[in-house]
Amino acid sequence: MNDNLTFLNAAWVWPALIFWLISILVFIWKEWTSPRNKGFIVKVVLIFFSVSSLALLALKPAILKEVNEGRVVITTDNFKQTQLDSLKKTYRNLKVIDYNNDESLLGLVNSEEIFVLGSGIASYDLWSLENTTATYLSGHELSGIIKLNYKQENKVGNQLDVKGIFANRRFKNRLVLQDAAGTALDSAVFGSKEKEGFQLSTTLKVSGNYVFSIIEKDSLGEVLNRNALPVKIQKRKAPRILILNTYPTFEIKYLKNFLADLGHEVTVKNRITTGRYKFEFFNAEQMNLRSLNSSNLGGFDLVILDSGFLKTLSNSERNALQKSIKATGLGLFILGEAKALNNLGDFSVFTLQPVSTLEVGFDELKTVRLTTQPFRLKQEFGLEEIHTLNASIFSAYKRSGQGRIGTTMLQNTWQLLLDGKQEAYQQIWSDIIEQLSKREFLLASFSSVDKFVLKDEPFTFQLRTSKENPIILDQYDHLIPLKQDLNVSETWSGVTYPLSLGWQRLNMEQDSTSSFEYYVHQSDSWKSLRHYQTQQANMKFFQEKFRGSKDIDQTYVAIHPFWFFGIFIFSMTGLWLLPKL
Amino acid sequence: MKQTGKSILIRFQKQWQIWLWLEVFLYAFSSAILVWFLTQNWFLSLISFALIFVMALLFKKPWEIDLEKTSNYIDASSNKLEYSSWLLLQEPTELSGLAKLQQQKISNALEAEIKRIKPEHHLKTAIITSVLLVVIGYLGFYTGISEIFNFNRNAISEEENMSFEPIDFLAVKQQVPVLKNQLVTINHPSYTGLTTTSTSKMNIKALEGSRVTWNLQFDASVDSVSLESMGKHRKMMKTNLSFSGSTTLNNSGFYNFKFTDTSGATYSSDLFTIEVIKDKTPVIRLDNLKQFTSFEYTDNKVLNFGALIIDDFGVANAHIIATVSKGTGESVKFREEQLEFDTPVSSGKKQLNLSKTIDLDQMNMEPGDELYFYIEAKDLKQPKENTARSETYFAVIKDTINYGPGVEGGLGVDLMPDYFRSQRQLIIDTEKLIAQSGKISKEEFNSTSNDLGFDQKSLRLKYGQFMGDEAEGAIANGGEIIEDNDHDHDQEEDPLTEYSHAHDSDNEHNLVADSHDHDQDENKEEEGPLADYLHDHGDPESSSLFTDSLKSKLRQALNIMWDAELHLRLYKPEKSLPYQYEALELIQEIKNSARIYVHRIGFDPPPIKENARLSGDLKDIDNFNKKEERDDLDQYLSIKQTILRLEELKISDSKPKDTDRKLFKKAGNELAKKAIAEPGRFLKTLQQLKQLGERQQISQELIIEVQKGLLKALPKIALEPQRQGSFGGKLNELVLKELELNE
């Protein structure tokens, strides 16, 4: 068979061939045996044609053809009518497809040229225009929020910061952040600039899943639109802290009071004299801490000690501490004289540089002056900063295996408390403790690729888990197929199409504690933002591809059955007429 | 032509009528508004509208304005029409030629004239009157004068009306009993002199100690009514169809009513506040008086001042508490007196203007004495009156003697008696005498030495007095001490005890009367059964000003003074000098110890065991364990849980379950604690929360409202360190390992 010809119903070739052969033979034999053998040759020819055409009707032969379907315009939301009109004027026979009418984009591969007008085609549909000659012409300027960034997963007591860019075409429009009950928490008023950044923030008070909202109002307070801002607020988890001290200091006294008052588990081992200690257990179970070993260190997330205590540790204790840090991710925070940091053996990980200033103020704590030791930490590979001022690092940590070892040059922070600057004190110590503490190990971690999920539209999520074959079910217990990453075996991705609005949940079958909640938005919410995003995606997509001419596609096109039918009728007529002549 | 003239007239007539109708309407309408403002009763207002309308109509009679009257009026008000406008009303066919001519002329003239003529009316007056009426009504309404006319005062007005909500909508089968009458009677405490007030407003604001009586009347029979307040239930007394209950107000809080009808369905009312006002303490203001006044001895020592005392419900009593202090140092004595004002204090007055003149001489004050006084005022509050006192004022008569600098500059008080100072003086004098030896005659030398010896003796006697020795005895006994005690200064026990007299502790009564008595009481108990029957003042040694170690030191000093005196008397001042120095040193030590004694009041350091110190012996030292739990859990826990639960209810549209109701109740209790401080802010939320907890059907709006209120009630959360969670996969581990290798 020729490459140019094929049968669409190729599976039927043999049955058709057999039928054809038998029919031909039967009819030829019939004509041969009939008495009046006039016009035998003509009859045989006609039989051949009619039977063949019948067989071909069934087989549907197709021939390779160059396809050229002309020019197509796809209109999407927000397109400019003038662009469409001028295109129509330029090209006759322009085919217009309205993307919003759910028309299929599949047959467009063969079009000579495609124009996409307006906000663009949803990113999950872009693949259908691959290998086409397409031009993207963006639509009207967008008005409203076009960029938005906020932490959807947050913790009680933290600040919710909603940052974004507002494209504004009217003076004095404003954005208002409202909580779940509709209380206005923060607002921003915009001037006449075309694009303006904004930041709205509030402190989160209660744990749970809430739908905040961002409302756009005009200068008269009329609500222009209202967009849901889902926030997942988790409960606080306090780290368990062990404090070891060679002698009581005010720093430790205030720190332990601060933590204990917040209800944290704090255990303090304070040396009174040689070999004698004072053990204090705040909100914690009493335990044996006479010597440190990996089992009693396992109960803590962070060890705060002074350099003096580190020196008094026995070898086995040092090893246990070192091991806990490296293997389990325990945090270690070393306080005390800066000079002593250099002779701590394995724990001497910092390099110090002398400085002359003894008082600093940090960016976030501008009004607060803090006293420091006359050193700063040298910026080097692996050093992660916590508190810095003008490129001088005053608190930092280094990774050691899974864990972290940190220190600070700040001293006498407790004086902040006496000065009534509670917030600054809390800020400093929260920073340090949070950064250094052992991270909670999660069995599975979900992340959503799409920020704004809509009903009946694909929602792509990513899962990282150490489980072998994770099984993910949605809340109706439908199984969602997962695709494993080729290179990183722990990364999986899946796509689901949410069936209803509001909070939806994905569960992992192997681990009931690992679940992921996502919010399905109303289809008309965040319009400007989604349009902006598709616009960007379209620009990127159409820019990258198909510059210049493309090979015109050839495809098999079925020969219209009408032709075979015609031949059949014609030969039948011949067969009918011949005896009558 | 004729048509025009007549139509003009008709138009004019119509206009006139409209003006009159307008007048009538204005009068009626404005008076109706006035009536409404005064009575807030639509019905009365409507009636008055109709009444005034009819009256004004009869007075103005707009229908009487017919064409004839109109033409007469027009004729009267214009002289160009030649009194012929009536002609326009006639058919031209009925008129003579001349009349026709005139009619035509007039018609033209009228067209021009009509613009000038205005119908007779009093619209201006009507407008002014009605505006006045409305303004009067509004002012009456605004200032509350309308209360006098308010006929539905005792009937319950719409807003105040207590509404009862059935707790279980499904259980409501029959006609719901309706509250017919509600009345709160507040009996203020009798001392306030306030009359009993009754109101239908259920939010109560009353003075502490007031008695509140509720009276509820229903239109149908009700099984029982109870009053719920801050978690307590109280049944109300039933009399016919009305229920009553009463209580005395002590604290602010909230309450609501609950009633059960005859079929067993329960209904609950809104929550109401009880705000208790505290009786204020009197305010005292003194005029014309400096805080500190000092007089020379020769001055006219009179203090003159006026006092203004104000109290919200009347002052019961006021007087001056004055204290006179005499003497200095250890010998200071206080005398307290209560002085009355010159103007008599009339009890029960809200404001008192009092004056007082204090003559310091009459108070038996001498130079150096000080007077402290303040004013104390009490109000009428019962059962326990509020007492207020003013600041303390000082008046001093300057002493004529100048003491010079005190012993201790650092302490505000001169701690030591004066005679402690003179040992140094004696030393100086003795040294002077030694230096003069040879320069002066022997007799003079000896007599000076003897004088110094006498001074030394009197000094010793004074110290002895201080020790509790009797002056005479001390001298006599002292002589014997030298022999016994010369060589055992360190001896703690005083050998003198055997010789001392049992009655020689009189002096202490003046010095430290209280503690002394107390000591004796304690001694009595320890001494056994005989103690009560014996006349015993206790050991004079143990009852002096000083502790034992001090006492022995002083005794030692006295003995050394003896030696010093002895040598002075023997005319050998140079031999006496070392003893004097020693005595001075001891006295100095005593002074220092006394200073420690004063300083030590706040902190008592434990004694240091010198033999155990720095020995490195840890045998008895042990590890110390301390365990502390913070048991005050989150005081907003239920509120937070409720907020989350409401969020879920809001989305899912499901009905609250029993567990939710319990939760709402708990949250209500938590909020109530907060709401007592600020009832205005949280009352509504509290009410709504109660509805949530009791109603079967809950609307979305209610949920959102409650959630809003609860979120507002939550305080700002402090920053605190948190544990972060993260997924540490193989990739992370690989990176970390790689990092470590490259370090």
Q: How many domains does chain A have?
A: 5
Query: Which comes out higher in pLDDT, residue B267 or A436?
Result: A436
Determine whether the interchain pair A157/B726 forms a contact, defined as Cβ–Cβ distance below 8 Å: no
| pLDDT at B476 (0 to 100) | 38
CATH 3.30.1240.10 fits domain B164-277: no
Q: Is the ipTM of this complex over 0.85?
A: no
Q: What's the order of all strands across the beta sheet hosting A223-234?
A: A153-155, A223-234, A208-217, A174-178, A184-189
Residue B286 in contact with residue B375, Cβ under 8 Å?
A: yes
* Pairs of CB atoms within 8 A across A/B: 173
Which chain B residues are closer than 8 Å to A286 by Cβ? Answer: 625, 627
Is there a single domain that holds both residue A79 and residue A159? no
For B727, which residue in chain A has the nearest alpha carbon? Answer: A442
Contact A183 B711 (CB under 8 A): yes
With cut-offs at 50, 70 and 90, classify the pLDDT of residue A407.
Answer: very high
Q: H helices then E strands: how many in chain A?
A: 11, 38
User: How far off is chain A from B738, nearest CA to CA, in Å?
Assistant: 10
Two domains, one topology: B164-277 and B283-397: yes
CA distance B544 to B533: 24
Instruction: Please report, for the domain that includes residue A461, its CATH number.
Output: 2.60.40.10
Do the chains contact at A205 and B640, CB–CB below 8 Å?
yes
Residues B395, B303: contact at Cβ < 8 Å? yes
Exposed e or buried b per residue across B203-235, where buried means at least 16 C-beta atoms within 10 angstroms of its C-beta? bbebbebbebebbbbbeeebeebbbbbeeeeee
Own/partner pairs, A271-278, CB within 8 angstroms, 24+ separation: A271/A245, A271/A246, A271/A247, A271/A309, A271/A312, A272/B621, A272/B624, A273/B618, A273/B621, A274/B618, A275/B618, A276/B618, A276/B621, A276/B622, A276/B623, A277/B623, A277/B624, A278/B623, A278/B624, A278/B625, A278/B626
**Does B727 sit within 8 Å of A205, measured CB to CB?**
no
Give the three-state DSSP class for B78.
coil
d(CA A241, CA A260): 10
CB-nearest to A440 from B721, B725, B743 is: B725
For residue A483, give how far its alpha carbon lies from the nearest alpha carbon of chain B (Å): 18
Mean pLDDT by 10-residue block, N- to C-terminus, for chain B (743 residues)? Answer: 68 85 89 84 87 88 80 77 74 76 79 76 85 86 64 47 64 67 83 80 82 83 79 78 82 80 77 82 84 82 86 85 75 79 82 85 82 86 83 81 45 44 79 85 87 85 71 40 39 45 42 40 45 51 55 84 89 88 83 53 63 75 81 77 85 77 85 76 81 78 86 82 79 82 70
User: Is CATH 2.40.30 what the domain over B283-397 is classified as, yes or no?
Assistant: no
What is the DSSP code string of A428-487?
Answer: HHHHHHHHHSPPEEPSEEEEES-SSEETTS-EEEEEEESSSS--EEETT--EE-EEE-SS
Residues of A in Cβ contact (< 8 Å) with B651? 211, 502-503
Give B235 to chain A, closest Cα distance, Å: 37
β-bridge partners, A115: A73, A135
Same domain, A334 and A411: yes
Neighbours of A534 (CB within 10 A): 23
Say yes or no for a CB contact (<8 Å) between B736 and A402: yes
How many Cβ atoms sit within 10 Å of the Cβ of residue A31?
18
Q: Give which of A143, A67, A76 is closest to A109, Cα–Cα.
A: A67
Concatenating the DSSP letter of every residue in B594-632 gives HHHHHHTTS--PPPP-TTTTTS---TT---EEEEE----
Q: What is the pLDDT of residue A320?
A: 92
pLDDT confidence of residue B329: 56
C-alpha dihedral (B191, B195, B198, B204), degrees to nearest 10? -40
Residues A377 and A282 in one domain: yes
Determine the residue of chain A that is closest to B708 in CA distance.
Answer: A181
The helix/strand/coil state of B236 is coil
Out of B650, B719, B724, closest to residue A423 by CB = B719
What's the pLDDT band for A406 if we cut at 50, 70, 90?
very high
Note whether A382 and A264 are same-domain residues: yes
Instruction: Show residues of chain B in contact with A400, CB under 8 Å.
Output: 740
| Interface contact flag, A440 B711, Cβ < 8 Å | no
Q: For residue A372, what pLDDT is reported?
A: 86
Summarize chain B as % helix, strand, coil (round to 5).
45, 20, 35
CA pseudo-torsion sign B687, B690, B696, B701: positive
CA B301 to CA B278: how far, in whole Å? 42
Whether A247 and A194 share a structural domain: no
Q: Show Cβ contacts of residue B415 under 8 Å, excluding neighbours closer than 6 positions.
A: B329, B407, B408, B591, B594, B595, B598
Which pLDDT score is estimated for A568?
A: 92
Both tokens assigned to B609: 């065991």
Bridge partners, residue A226, by sequence: A215
d(CA B443, CA A19): 174
Q: How close is the nearest chain B Cα to the Cα of A420, in Å?
A: 14
Decide if A434 and B721 are in contact by the 8 Å CB cutoff: yes
Chain A hits for B743, Cβ within 8 Å: 381-382
pLDDT single digits (tens) A316-338: 999 999 999 988 889 999 988 88
Output the pLDDT for position A337.
84
Is the full-model pTM beyond 0.80?
no
A272 and A156 assigned to the same domain: no
Contact B320, B289 (CB under 8 A): no
pLDDT band at A170 (very low <50, low <70, confident <90, very high): confident
Question: A300 with A368, same domain?
Answer: yes
- Same domain flag for A258 and A315: yes
Residue of A178, A179, A205, A489 for testing the chain B interface, max B β-carbons within 10 Å: A205
Distance, in angstroms, between A474 CA and closest chain B CA? 18
Same domain, A158 and A212: yes
Chosen for mutation from A206, A269, A422 (greatest number of chain B CBs closer than 10 Å) is A206
Residue A239 with chain B: CB contacts under 8 Å: 721-723
- CB-CB contact of A461 with A538 (8 Å): no
Give the gap in angstroms from C-alpha B309 to the nearest C-alpha of chain A.
Answer: 39
Cα gap B209→B274, rounded to integer Å: 12
pLDDT confidence of residue A557: 79
Do A197 and A49 share a domain, yes or no?
no
Q: Is A305 in the same domain as A218?
A: no
Give me the phi and psi of A469, to 5 degrees please.
-125, 85
Instruction: Name chain A contacts of B721, Cβ cutoff 8 Å.
Output: 238-239, 259, 264, 429-430, 432-434, 437
**Distance separating alpha carbons of residues A423 and A258, to the nearest angstrom:** 12
Q: What is the 3-state secondary structure (H, E, C) of A160-171?
A: EEEEEEEECCCC
Domain end: A181, A216, A236, which one? A236
Q: If you ran DSSP here, which 8-state letter would residue B408 be given?
A: -
Q: According to the model, what pLDDT value does residue A267 have? A: 92
Q: How many Å is the Cα radius of gyration of chain A?
A: 38
**CA closest to A180 among chain B residues:** B647
pLDDT of A397 reads 92
Distance CA A466, CA A515 (A): 15
Q: Determine how many CB atoms are found less than 10 A away from the CB of residue A353.
A: 12
Taking the C-alpha atoms of residue B484 and residue B474, their distance in angstroms, rounded to an integer, is 15
| Whether residues A331 and A392 fall in one domain | yes
pLDDT for B119: 76
Q: Find the domain containing A129 and state its range.
A: 71-140+530-552
Q: Which of B707, B730, B739 sits opposite A181 (nearest CB)?
A: B707
Give the 3-state secondary structure of A327-342: HHCCEEEEECCCHHHH
Task: Point out the residue among A158, A402, A442 whose CB comes nearest to the CB of B725.
Answer: A442
- For B501, the 3-state DSSP assignment is coil
Q: Would you list the domain boundaries of chain B?
A: 2-146, 164-277, 283-397, 427-496+507-515+536-599, 637-713
What are the tens digits of pLDDT across the range A511-567? 888 889 999 998 888 888 888 888 888 888 887 655 545 555 667 778 888 999 999
Nearest to B723 among A183, A279, A440 (CB): A440
